[in-house]
Amino acid sequence: MDKHLKKISNLINNQNNLGNKKNFTLASAALVCTIIDITQIHPEKYASLFQENLNLAEEEFEKIHTEISHDALNIDEKVSCIKAELNNNMFQIMEFLKILNQCAIVNGCTQKSYREFELIRDKFLREFY
């Protein structure tokens, strides 16, 4: 998992034109947390990974965890934020989706986690097909 969070961090850090790096980071972390289903696993184990790799404060991680736990996470909003920050660049979007897919696989690839990935993927690609 650590390696894949670093890839997201690299993707974020290599964007010269991110309008709001913090929103992009929070949206990315929220989607990763949805796919790996931190509500079923000990979320505290991931808090330090997100802090180390995405510079995400524990309070921000807890907020994401709470949103996911209470079904308040608006995936469409997160996807729109990421797409906007990537300037709707298909190559960058596909790179991001590749990383999310790897997160699902590394996490044991349960049916639920892969369904979450497919839902997110379809939201990213809806306008392209």
Candidates 16, 103, 26; CA nearest to 65 is 26
- Whole-structure pTM value: 0.81
pLDDT tens for residues 75-96? 899 999 999 988 888 988 998 8
The count of structural domains within the chain is: 1
Give the range of the structural domain holding residue 43, as residue numbers without chain letter: 2-128
Query: How many C-alpha atoms does 28 have within 13 Å on its Cβ side?
Result: 34
Amino acid at 32: V
Lookup: tokens for 100 = 């999310």
pLDDT tens for residues 16-72? 666 677 788 888 888 888 888 776 666 777 777 778 877 888 888 888 878 877 776
Integer-rounded Cα radius of gyration of the chain: 13
